[in-house]
Amino acid sequence: MKIQVLTDVLKANQTIALENKKIFDKNQILVLNFMSSPGAGKTLILEKTIEKLKKDFNFAVIEGDVATSNDAERLAKYDIPVVQITTESFGGACHLDANMVKKAMETLDLSGVQILFIENIGNLICPAGFDLGEDKKVIVLSTTEGEDKPSKYPVAFRNSDLLLINKIDLLPHLDIDLDLLMQNTKKVNPELFSIKLSAKTEQGFENWLDWLVREYRSKSKKKSSSGK
Ligand code: MG
């Protein structure tokens, strides 16, 4: 009985996610769903990305948290459209779902927006199961989290398109075995592309920016060649 209920929830979510995706595609917006544990550095990565590419692209952000609008406030200072979703009023849900994103879009001015970041709620479990209508899922893992996370939370890694290994500036102080981390990642998702960076020192950051710009161009190319 319980399994049936969960199936229905996911099915309903998938329907709304597809509706969201249609709107994103029609408006030619590249949408990335960011997942990570709390404190892995999602918000700082977004801040630096927006700061560096703001003159070339129009950004918007949907921020998910259980409570507070701290992260939304950090991003709003770049003078871009930001909507905060707090799930405390939905019983403290540990993930965003497609319907929450749909509701957020009603208050978000998407005109002219080219890249929309959705910062999911910080944990490696619940966000992995719910599509929001995004083009790509990005998983951020901090070097402080150890090399076993892909093995412990395989769904989040299996469903992602890009792995950002953040805080590489801390490597001299840590015992993490990056080769083992990559082996563990390959076991659950051999296709997962990864980039090592530090949002703080900006080491490796240009590789992530290149990936992002490539994804945006490839989406707009698809759109213009479809002739719509
Ligand atoms: Mg954050």
Q: Could you tell me the CATH number of the domain that includes residue 9? A: 3.40.50.300
Dist. CA 200 → ligand 1 center (Å): 14
pLDDT at 1: 55
One-letter amino acid at 205 equals F
* Residue 23 in domain: yes
* Host domain of residue 127: 2-222
* Residue 126 in domain: yes
Dist. CA 45 → ligand 1 center (Å): 9
* Residue 146 in domain: yes
Q: How many domains does the chain have?
A: 1
Dist. CA 90 → ligand 1 center (Å): 19
User: Rounded to two decimals, what is the model's pTM?
Assistant: 0.94
The whole-angstrom separation of Cα 197 and Cα 207 is 8
pLDDT at 127: 95
Dist. CA 137 → ligand 1 center (Å): 16
* Residue 29 in domain: yes
Dist. CA 84 → ligand 1 center (Å): 11
The whole-angstrom separation of Cα 59 and Cα 99 is 21
Dist. CA 100 → ligand 1 center (Å): 17
Dist. CA 63 → ligand 1 center (Å): 8
Dist. CA 183 → ligand 1 center (Å): 27
Dist. CA 42 → ligand 1 center (Å): 5
One-letter amino acid at 108 equals L
* Residue 74 in domain: yes
Longest dimension (CA), the chain: 53
Tell me the backbone φ, ψ of residue 118, rounded to 5 degrees: -110, 110
pLDDT at 228: 45
Dist. CA 143 → ligand 1 center (Å): 17
Dist. CA 43 → ligand 1 center (Å): 4
* Residue 228 in domain: no
Dist. CA 122 → ligand 1 center (Å): 7
Dist. CA 178 → ligand 1 center (Å): 24
* Residue 41 in domain: yes
pLDDT 10s per residue in the chain (228 long)? Answer: 566 777 788 889 999 999 999 999 999 999 999 999 999 999 999 999 999 999 999 999 999 999 999 999 999 999 999 999 999 887 888 999 999 999 999 999 899 999 999 999 999 999 999 999 999 999 999 999 999 999 999 999 999 999 999 999 999 999 999 999 999 999 999 999 999 999 999 999 999 999 999 999 999 988 666 644
